[in-house]
Amino acid sequence: MEYDNTNQGVLYRNRRKEKDSHPTHTGRATVFGGEFWLAAWPHRDDGKNLSVAMTNKADRGETYDFVLHYKGVNGTKPHYTGELNGEKIACWINEMKRDTEKLRKGDKYLSLRFTTPNQGGGGQGQEEAVVNDDIPF
**Tens digit of each residue's pLDDT (9 = 90 or more) over 10-56:** 999 998 899 989 999 999 999 888 999 999 999 887 778 999 999 99
Number of independent structural domains in the chain: 1
Q: Return the C-alpha torsion angle 16, 6, 32, 69, nearest 10.
A: -60
**CA 76/CA 62 separation, integer angstroms:** 33
**Residue 128 belongs to a domain:** no
Choose between 34 and 131: higher pLDDT. Answer: 34
Percent of the chain at pLDDT above 90? 40
| Residue 1: partners with Cβ closer than 8 Å, 6 or more residues away | none
Question: For residue 85, what is the DSSP state?
Answer: T
**Residue 37 belongs to a domain:** yes
**Residue 137 belongs to a domain:** no
**CA 131/CA 87 separation, integer angstroms:** 27
**Residue 2 belongs to a domain:** no
Domain of residue 99: give its range: 8-115
Give pLDDT tens digits for 108-117: 888 999 886 5
**Residue 30 belongs to a domain:** yes
**Residue 121 belongs to a domain:** no
Mean local confidence (pLDDT), 112-127: 56
**Residue 109 belongs to a domain:** yes
Given this model, what pLDDT does residue 125 score?
35
Question: How many other C-beta atoms are found inside a 10 Å radius of the C-beta of residue 54?
Answer: 22
**Residue 129 belongs to a domain:** no
